[in-house]
Amino acid sequence: MPSLTRDEARQRAQLITVDRMEVDLDLDRGAEHFGSTTRIRFSCSTPGESTFLDVRPVSCERIELNGIQVDPATLFEGRLPLTDLGAENVVEVVATMAYSRDGQGLHRSTDPADDEDYVYGHLFLDAAPTVFACFDQPDLKAPYAVTVRAPESWVVLGNGRATRGDDSTWQLSETLPLATYFVTVCAGPYVSVHDEHDGIPLGIHARRSLQPELERHAPQMFEVTKQSFDHYHRTFDVRYPFGDYDQVFVPEFNAGAMENPGCVTFRDQMLHRGAATREQVLQRSNTISHEMAHMWFGDLVTMRWWDDLWLNESFAEFMAYTCTSAATEFTDSWVEFGIARKQWGYAAERAPSTHPVAGSPAPDAQSALANFDGISYAKGASVLRQLVAHMGEAAFNAGVTAYLRSHEHGNGQLSEFLAAMEEAHGESLADWSAAWLETAGVDVIALDRDGTLTRTAPDAHPANRTHTLDVAGFTDGAEVARESVRLDGPSVHVDLADATVRLPNASDLTWAQVDLDAATLAALPTDLARIADPVARSVVWGAVLTGVYRSTVDPAVALDVFTATWPHESHDALMTRVAHAFDHRIVPQFVRDEARGDAAARLGVAALAAFESAEPGSDRALVAARFLAETSTDSERLTAWVEARSLPAGLEGDSDFRWLVLQRLARLDLAPDDLVDRVSADDTTLSGHLAALAARAARPGIRDKEWAWGEITTNRERSNYELNALAAGFWSSGAVDDMRPYAGRYVSDIPRLAEWLGADALDRVATLAFPSRVVEDATAELVRSAMGRPDVSSGVRRSMGDELSKLEEALTSRARWA
């Protein structure tokens, strides 16, 4: 299928205006197909001209344009020509569509807990034509009137309030103008809880088998929802415009969530089945706040084209962390941002695919998928923090409000946003935008023992970025100095007296990778755990991690810092993210083969030390128990935990923890079929089914690997989540000699999945199935060669390239520190 180009979109938007969309869906036709009838009223600025409609059906039963039959045979590669247009037009398309299994379009999933079916629409980025006929581009917004026929036992939700008729047909109230990719319908035997706030009806919905989890978590989610509404109403001074506010937790969702106006969809793993740490609740709360911010940035005002994606995602990211830190109990949410989101963004900046925050080329819609990364999210949010520091919070909020009001229910772009902000600021932002928004790359900031703070821009992307930040000094963990700095040149002098640990960007206010001096690095094993400020510790941990990835820190030194200080870390977000980085990347990739066993054992020792010292039932104990379950080689302890004996406090009956332990046993080749079957019989949920697949794929035996790879690459019945589980388990174990052949099979087999798998799902599989544990030059050569092949899609090429960049970082580090 051809992807819509920017030029085609511009030409079509100049020619037509969509006035109203009427969509009728029949979801009562069985498990494979559904009926779709679309009536589009649109005007044409130049009568007699032609355009095309986007629709990708199984079959077309009838097409009419202005009362005249159109031959369905003219439909080619998803495009239906519309010729001899009038000033006012009506096109009607009656079609049969297919449910998806890859999380795109109208996805249908069967819950193995009770065999109930659930449907949800995820029309991002260009999947709308698989559900209804449309002019599928973000700047042709229109009101939607939707009806849905569904089985008798189903509930229907969507962008407008749903009202049930007498014949199992639901009418959704007509919406305000929406972009095509924001339209959704959720249908199935969903269960619900309701509330109201500030005149806005609220609903939270989930699968019937998740009703206990829904009811347990709903009060906290409603609280964050209400706090976020109040914060955004105060900040934007523009009321939420989309009527009811439903939040639907759906199965097998590719993204974290999607900001459909009035009907936000979330991956339902966020309804935690067992124990949840404060960080996990923060992540969900931040996602709730993030998607709500989109009601203004993305939904009320939509980017004109995908190259201004940052106007959606950077703002939602920044606004969400601002909201959670200012208006909820999570006043420390920027700690999690620094160690999780910024690390994701820094990795994207180091990759060859790095791009500017704004204006990154998106010549067609599909290519825009490559920009949904840590740059558009984390870097964009960090840049906005710098803009607030540059122009002041009051002027920033005034500019945002002016932009929203002048473009509401329409579209915007970078130049229009900057104009509003310059009006509020009273000065030009051209230089600021050129340096921060329109130039790729991340600066490196370092502070030497003489007090010289330096800024180094990357050679490939030179820019004169002014950094507003602070530096701090610590001795024996106590803060002895802190100084605010405006770094607008190559260097500036700061006075930190005789501080032992010297930390640039101590409050994590700017976007920059931090190099720690040798004396500071040497002091960390004794001093890091004693620093009280969790933001400062987040910056230190981030500097250690990025130092390993950039080959400026010896992995052995980083491991010494970890084993000495991680068992004493008190912030659960830092504990979780740093442990994950060492266990999933630094030890498997950066530590040489002959030393890896000892390094992995040291992780287990650190996990045990933290577990034994933590208060039972605390967040710290929970994180430590999970890390111990992932790293321990104590088969007696692991077996006891699987059999529900001697479980840590708070983890009794926790199925997810049990699967975590079983997957560790599987990696140790101690999980035979009968054990996996027995645990599966106790957990017949979708989560249990996926965990069992991951466990089987995690076993190191050659036959197990062959089975798992065949399921990933040849079984077309596997859903997106099943493929993810298999791919994640596959590379978690196995001798390098046994796994090496799969590097070659990766480059030959994974691109072929495009024959039946959607781009969103395929790109994720291409990432998870990457041969990251075969850290060899030959692997890098295989992938480089594959990336040049014409049969490799742009999304898979991006996934390959990003993972190759990480592999090359490990190869460089091994050579540097050999």
Distance CA 205, CA 248 (A): 5
Q: Which helix (H) or strand (E) holds 486?
A: strand 478-487
Token pair recorded at residue 182:
């924001």
Helices and strands, counts by H and E, the chain? 27, 28
315 vs 312: CA distance, rounded Å: 6
Consecutive H or E run containing 33: strand 33-44
Residues 6+ apart with CB under 8 A from 558: 544, 545, 547, 548, 582, 586
User: Dihedral, CA atoms, 429, 435, 437, 442, nearest 10 degrees?
Assistant: -150
Query: Rg of the Cα trace of the chain?
Result: 27
Q: How does DSSP classify residue 443?
A: E
Taking the C-alpha atoms of residue 482 and residue 505, their distance in angstroms, rounded to an integer, is 10
Pure H helices in 247-350 = 278-294, 310-327, 333-336, 342-350
8 Å CB contact between 354 and 438: no
Residue with tokens 């991680």: 566
> For tokens 């509930």, what's the residue?
155
By three-state DSSP, how is residue 561 classified? helix
Q: Which of 22, 213, 259, 291 is catalytic?
A: 291
Residue 426, helix vs strand vs coil: coil
Contacts with 643 (C-beta within 8 Å, 6 or more apart), sequence order: none
Spacing of C-alpha 395 from chain mean position: 30
Task: Reply yes or no on whether 636 is catalytic.
Answer: no
Angle at 13 between CA 9 and CA 18, to 5 degrees: 120
What is the per-residue DSSP string for 349-414?
HHSTT---SSS---SBTGGGGGG-STIIIIIHHHHHHHHHHHH-HHHHHHHHHHHHHHHTTEEE-H
515 φ/ψ sector (left φ>0, alpha ψ -120 to 50, else beta) = beta
Cα 157 to chain center, whole Å? 24
- DSSP annotation of 489: S
Return the structure tokens found at 307: 């190259």
Residues annotated as part of the active site: 291
